[in-house]
Structure 1
Amino acid sequence: MPTRRRLLQTGLATIAMPSVLRAQSLSGQITLMSYSGIFQDNYTKAVVEPFLAANPGVKVNYAPGGTSAQMVGSVRAQKADPQIDVVIMDVTTSSIGNIEGLFEKLTPAEFPVLEELAPEARAAGGEFGPAVTFDHLVLVYDTQNLKPPITKLADLWRPDLKGQLALSAPPNIQGLALTAMVEKMEGGDHRKSIDAAMRKLKELAPSVNTFEPNPDGYSLILNGVVKVATGWNARSQLYGDQSNGRIGTLLPPEGSVFQINTINLTAGSKNRAAAAAFVKHALSQSAQKAFTERMFYAPTNARAQIDPKAVARTAAAPESRANMIPVDWNDILKVRDQWNNRWRREVISAAR
């Protein structure tokens, strides 16, 4: 007669078996497209490699996709014969892909992890791919060569910074976020008008060294080209550590804007099972914890238990949330071309 212990062991083995079988049944390869450089390096270590360890039959090819606009262009070009399975990109661009039918809708029935996400993470992608990271716009500056340091957004207009600024102009999302921030600084509301922002940014234009930082504002500071740039908090935190504090990060007291990256399952994926499994993993508590603690993107899984010291350096920190300007990126998408044209006509042209 079986012992109680043996019955218990058999029962536990039976319960565990489906997950083991699912991992063993996944095979083949998938292509993940997202940002290159420092993001690729850290996302591979924190998220991709643990997925591969749990699914030894699957190979993940990481395809550096350039900007979000370039990524959606790649997916669009392959619509009839998709070569990319999962894409992580900015929400303003993934929304375009959703409209064009490039990405799949995700249901809680197939993706139970959706129920663990923060409400704003679910809302970001609607019925499609949800937010996988949160971040916010910051000003980054050269702590060694900028005296006194900047302490607020309005400091960009300091006379001593003429020629020392790198701003990412629209359609780059940094420029869109900066527009909303400057409008608020001037007492306006970007949902009603950006006239005040355009006037103020036109005044700033002669001080701007470049409106297209290449490869990015952090590198231009480290190379001594400029002293202040627009940037993202997560990257600036990491660059600050790597540069022994040379890169400083300022969350402007006038307010900042959340940036959202969504994770998207390509419609017509040739290895949908493995691609769906990766999406579930990327949104899981363990993956969210690992990436937040490694690169300081705020988690979108509300149940992830993050080291408080890491949270304090992310967009999820209470002081960061308190300074966020409400921005509906789906609304911004509708006026993006208009804002882009106004920047070209009224701001960038004033720098010449």
Structure 2
Amino acid sequence: MSMVRNTILAAVSGLALSAVSAQAETLTISWWGFNGEKLDEYIVKPFQEQCGCELVFETGNNADRLNKVKIRGGGGVDVIYLTDAFSQIGIDEGLFQKIDPAKVPNLQGLYPLAQDPQGGYGPAYTIGRVGIVYDSTKVDPAITKWADLWREDLNGKISLPGITTTAGPMVVMIAGDKAGTDAFEDADPAFAEIEALKANVVKNYNTGSEMINLFSTGEISVSLVQDFALGQLQAAVPNVVWAKLEDGDIATLNTVNIPKGAANPDRAHEFINFILDPARQKLIAENGVDAPVVASVELSPEAAQKWTYGKEMIENLKRVDYSKMNSAKNDWIERWNEIFGM
């Protein structure tokens, strides 16, 4: 009887340990939730099979998700996906831990821009860009540099991204370059250039659909956009082209970080290494999920044209110092709104 009792207790104890083990093997990821079916097929299910763990998710926009991590003192999730503007806020506020490169060997295969974009914290898992698009049937000569936005023949033809969008503050940087100054150090010359640019601007847009509609109705012929909007824009207005700027487009990075209170940091490192695997990066790029950051990935011409892709393009991208931009943004918003009457 005693032997049976001991056997039962051992079995119950084993079940309890299994439950604890299963709980410890939960990895919590904070991300946007876009491309849900594709991410489930190409990342979630394969990683769960590899690790024998369960992935659970917290979804929402950058600001909301980062704020939740802040409220929880850097805890609650093991991995967080953010644009580089928001990951810099998390870094500056001490919410993330540095990455251990020894636990993410696939880092070595990334473009330098993606390996360590923010001082030892999370890598970029995809790269995008901000540039100029224009209707090639209505703009002649072609736009070849950022300063062309100020051309007299573009009077009343441009829509700028609103100052609170991702690309909006980049206009202030560009205006500073045109004025020959660093807008972070001295914004006055930059805003003088923006005042001069105002005559060319029909409207500031705040969403991609709003910008596409302005092109479709013929209200504008030129705009600044992020590259993910290009496909939809060209579907609506086939004559729109991406300007080949001799002074380079501006990089936008999506990063992946480990919060300082992550419950499962080893699995978090394993997950980051998984999404940076060359074969995985190629698979998700060819299936329309994200641009690759692994330098060795070779895409078909059809897949490549969708993305910020290739050594030459990526090495010519301008970087943004988001620590400085985040500090300057409130003042820039106020000055921008004074010019555009918002």
> 1:274-294 CA distances to partner (integer Å, 9 max, x unpaired)?
444322212221222223334
Other-structure match for 2:195: 202
Q: Is this contact kept in 2: 1:133–1:298, CA < 8 A? A: yes
Matching residue within 331, 334, 339 for 1:344? 334
Q: Are 1:168 and 2:166 counterparts?
A: no
Other-structure match for 2:4: none
> 1:230-283 CA distances to partner (integer Å, 9 max, x unpaired)?
2222x0344356558365322433432222221012232345454443222122
- Identity over the aligned pairs, expressed in percent? 21
Letter in 2 for 1:69: A
Other-structure match for 1:18: none
Q: Distance in 1 between matches of 2:73 and 2:209?
A: 30
Q: 1:252 to 1:126 in 2, by over 3 A?
A: same
Other-structure match for 1:282: 275
Letter in 1 for 2:323: L
Q: 1:44 to 1:25 in 2, by over 3 A?
A: same
Q: Is this contact kept in 1: 2:159–2:205, CA < 8 A? A: no
Q: TM-score, normalized by length of structure 1?
A: 0.72
The secondary structure found in structure 1 opposite 2:254 is strand
Letter in 1 for 2:246: P
Matching residue within 91, 97, 102 for 1:98? 91
Other-structure match for 1:334: 324
> What does residue range 292-307 of structure 1 map to in structure 2 within 5 Å?
292-295=285-288, 298-302=291-295, 304-307=296-299
The secondary structure found in structure 2 opposite 1:125 is coil
Q: Is this contact kept in 2: 1:255–1:324, CA < 8 A? A: yes
Other-structure match for 1:77: 71
Other-structure match for 1:5: none
Q: TM-score, normalized by length of structure 2?
A: 0.73
Q: Is this contact kept in 2: 1:292–1:306, CA < 8 A? A: no
Deviation at 1:103, TM superposition (A): 1.8
The secondary structure found in structure 2 opposite 1:73 is helix
Q: Is this contact kept in 2: 1:181–1:255, CA < 8 A? A: no
Deviation at 1:29, TM superposition (A): 5.3
Q: 1:154 to 1:116 in 2, by over 3 A?
A: closer
Q: Is this contact kept in 1: 2:38–2:289, CA < 8 A? A: no
Aligned length: 316
The secondary structure found in structure 1 opposite 2:106 is helix
Q: Distance in 2 between matches of 1:237 and 1:41?
A: 22
The secondary structure found in structure 1 opposite 2:116 is helix
Other-structure match for 2:47: 51
Q: Distance in 2 between matches of 1:62 and 1:148?
A: 47
Other-structure match for 1:10: none
The secondary structure found in structure 1 opposite 2:293 is coil
Letter in 2 for 1:93: F
Q: Distance in 2 between matches of 1:181 and 1:40?
A: 35
Q: Is this contact kept in 1: 2:149–2:197, CA < 8 A? A: yes
Q: 1:156 to 1:280 in 2, by over 3 A?
A: same
Q: 1:80 to 1:319 in 2, by over 3 A?
A: closer
The secondary structure found in structure 1 opposite 2:95 is coil
Q: Is this contact kept in 2: 1:236–1:249, CA < 8 A? A: no
The secondary structure found in structure 2 opposite 1:69 is helix
> What does residue range 156-235 of structure 1 map to in structure 2 within 5 Å?
156-157=149-150, 158=152, 162=156, 164-170=158-164, 172-190=165-183, 193-205=186-198, 207-211=200-204, 213-214=206-207, 218-221=211-214, 224=217, 227-233=221-227, 235=228
Q: Distance in 1 between matches of 2:279 and 2:24?
A: 20
Q: Distance in 1 between matches of 2:211 and 2:37?
A: 17
Q: Which runs of 5+ in 1 are unaligned?
A: 1-23
Other-structure match for 1:123: 116
Other-structure match for 2:28: 30
Deviation at 1:183, TM superposition (A): 2.8
Q: Distance in 2 between matches of 1:29 and 1:328?
A: 31
Q: 1:196 to 1:108 in 2, by over 3 A?
A: same
Letter in 2 for 1:333: S
Q: Which runs of 5+ in 2 are unaligned?
A: 1-21
Q: Is this contact kept in 1: 2:133–2:224, CA < 8 A? A: yes
